[in-house]
């Protein structure tokens, strides 16, 4: 079955628009002013994004993680244990995939049913304003949800590299969930149980 038929209208790959030499962004990718970032903040002001050093003891950083999540909604993690070489390998593997010929990439086109695979839109509203970017989603766990037919066979190193990278990210996320649980005054597994029930996916965007 052609996955593109599951969408309300033909799917156009953003990469193909950009590579085609478009001089302007098509209207259907232009967000209304109400959905755009605000420029009200002083451009000259210095914002200090929270930085959490994961080399420190979990009990020491629990309060900092909880505070960063409450006040900012995110933080930068350093010394997180994921190998820089592995991160570079995953990035280069996916870059190689997105530069494959379109027919090869289309083998992994996704559908609204799961979004797993190669995609260019979220949501099925006809005529909706779209995001400027293509993406790839994969299930990592539970293992029963992994669809190996959606794991690209090219570049040759992609499957092995992404699988290893995914396992390292899961370990990192599990640690962060423990730390966040402590910061919320829960036992170390409070958040982990909920995250396991929801499952784990990995996603990247080519924009």
The model's pLDDT over 120-150, given as tens digits with 9 standing for 90+, comes to: 998 888 889 999 999 999 998 888 888 999 9
Residue 67, in any domain of the structure: no
Question: What is the number of alpha carbons within 13 Å of residue 19 lying toward its C-beta?
Answer: 14
- pLDDT score for 122: 87
What does the pLDDT read at residue 141? Answer: 84
Specify the pTM: 0.83
Number of domains, the chain: 1
Closest CA to 170 of 130, 128, 198: 198
Select from 80, 79, 51, 56 the least CA-distant residue to 67: 51
* Structure confidence at residue 40 as a pLDDT band (50, 70, 90): low
Domain around 175: 3-21+82-206
Flag whether 166 is in a domain: yes
Number of CB atoms found within 10 A of residue 184's CB: 14
> Per-residue pLDDT tens for 77-108?
999 999 999 999 999 999 999 999 999 999 99
Tokens representing residue 94 in the block:
């996916």
In this structure, is residue 198 part of a structural domain?
Answer: yes
Residue 60 belongs to a domain? no
Q: Find the CATH number of the domain harbouring 101.
A: 2.60.120.330
For residue 179, tell me if it sits in a domain.
Answer: yes
Q: Is residue 186 part of a domain?
A: yes
Q: Is residue 51 part of a domain?
A: no
Residue 33 lies in a domain: no
Indicate if the pLDDT at residue 3 is higher than 50. Answer: no
Residue 190: pLDDT over 50? yes
């Amino acid at each position: 079955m052609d996955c593109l038929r599951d969408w309300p209208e033909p799917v156009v790959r953003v990469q193909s628009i950009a590579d085609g030499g478009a001089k302007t962004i098509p209207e259907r990718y232009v967000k209304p002013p109400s959905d755009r970032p605000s420029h009200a903040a002083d451009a000259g002001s210095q914002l200090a994004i929270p930085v959490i050093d994961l080399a420190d003891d979990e009990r020491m950083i629990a309060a900092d993680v909880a505070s960063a999540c409450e006040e900012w909604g995110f933080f930068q993690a350093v010394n997180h244990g994921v190998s820089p070489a592995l991160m570079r390998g995953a990035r280069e593997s996916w870059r190689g995939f997105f530069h494959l010929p379109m027919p090869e990439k289309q083998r992994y086109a996704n559908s609204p049913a799961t979004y797993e695979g190669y995609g260019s839109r979220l949501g099925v509203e006809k005529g909706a304003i779209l995001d400027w970017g293509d993406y790839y989603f994969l299930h990592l766990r539970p293992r029963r949800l992994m669809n190996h037919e959606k794991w690209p066979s090219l570049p040759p190193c992609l499957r092995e590299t992404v699988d290893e990278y995914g396992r390292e990210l899961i370990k990192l996320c599990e640690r962060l969930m423990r730390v966040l649980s402590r910061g919320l005054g829960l036992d170390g597994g409070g958040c982990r149980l909920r995250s396991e029930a929801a499952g784990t996916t990995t996603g990247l965007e080519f924009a």
